[in-house]
């Protein structure tokens, strides 16, 4: 059954043993940001730094993401909530396995049920194929908005991919500016 308060949800999630990632994690990375944000960003899963600090996107790719969000007027301190598909670090930073994503999905669903964001931004392929469309192609469909159950969903490049391949940075920046513009069109308080 879904939990109805952030405090209860976080406390329960921090004790999660639903998959084998629990055995190797240092910290559960629950999520960060205002708990009434209208925009929610969803990444893939914690890396080494996130596992150590218990906060999403705090390593190199997180710094790039923060910089780009900031340019679009978005920030975890002010107006966006950030979480991941899986709350515990997959060893060696491998992709989370489908069974790990499935085991963790209830936490994410519960987070979105409490937050009720107007816009969800999938950061990278793993989140986009899990949440938007199973054959989502980031290179082709990034920045497009699709409505699902009253929530606007969009996907963009993962900052780790942008660090490897900076040629897509301007397109990713356009995507985030598009999110801010959409929020403005909808009259959302940012």
How far apart CA 78 and CA 148 sit, in angstroms, is 25
Nearest CA to 41 out of 13, 15, 25, 62 is that of: 62
The least distance separating ligand URA from the CB of residue 164, rounded to whole angstroms, comes to: 13
- 136 contacts ligand URA (rule: CB under 6 A): no
- Under rule CB under 6 A, residue 56 binds ligand URA: yes
Among 33, 43, 90, 96, binds ligand URA (CB under 6 A): 43
The structure tokens listed for 103 are: 């085991």
Handedness of CA 183, 147, 123, 84 (dihedral sign): positive
CB of 50 to ligand URA, least distance (A): 4
Number of residues that bind ligand URA (CB under 6 A): 11
Among 38, 50, 100, 175, binds ligand URA (CB under 6 A): 50
3-state secondary structure of 43: strand
Assess 79 for contact with ligand URA (CB under 6 A): no
Pick the binder of ligand URA from 13, 25, 40, 44 (CB under 6 A). 44
Q: Whole-number minimum distance, CB 55 to ligand URA, in Å?
A: 8
Please select the residue that binds ligand URA; options are 16, 21, 38, 61, rule is CB under 6 A. 61
Residues 6 or more apart whose CB falls under 8 angstroms from that of 172 comprise 68, 142, 156, 157, 159, 162
In angstroms, the CA 135 to CA 141 distance is 10
SS3 119: strand
Query: What is the Cα–Cα distance from 107 to 86, expressed in whole angstroms?
Result: 9
Nearer to ligand URA, 61 or 79 (CB): 61
Task: Give the nearer residue to ligand URA in terms of CB position, either 46 or 143.
Answer: 46
């Amino acid at each position: 059954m879904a939990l109805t308060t952030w405090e209860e949800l976080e406390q329960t999630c921090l004790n999660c043993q639903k998959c084998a990632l629990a055995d190797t994690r240092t910290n559960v990375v629950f999520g960060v940001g205002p708990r009434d944000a209208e925009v929610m960003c969803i990444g893939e899963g914690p890396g080494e730094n996130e596992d150590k600090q218990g906060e999403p996107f705090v390593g190199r790719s997180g710094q790039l993401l923060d910089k780009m969000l900031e340019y679009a007027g978005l920030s975890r301190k002010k107006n966006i909530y950030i979480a991941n598909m899986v709350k515990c670090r997959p060893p060696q930073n491998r992709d989370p396995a489908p069974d790990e994503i499935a085991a963790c999905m209830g936490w994410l669903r519960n987070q979105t049920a409490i937050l009720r964001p107007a816009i969800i931004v999938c950061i990278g392929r793993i989140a986009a194929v899990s949440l938007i469309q199973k054959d989502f192609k980031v290179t082709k469909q990034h920045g497009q908005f699709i409505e699902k159950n009253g929530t606007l969903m969009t996907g963009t490049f993962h900052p780790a991919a942008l660090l490897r391949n900076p040629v897509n940075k301007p397109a990713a920046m356009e995507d985030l500016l598009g999110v801010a513009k959409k929020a403005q069109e909808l009259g959302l308080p940012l």
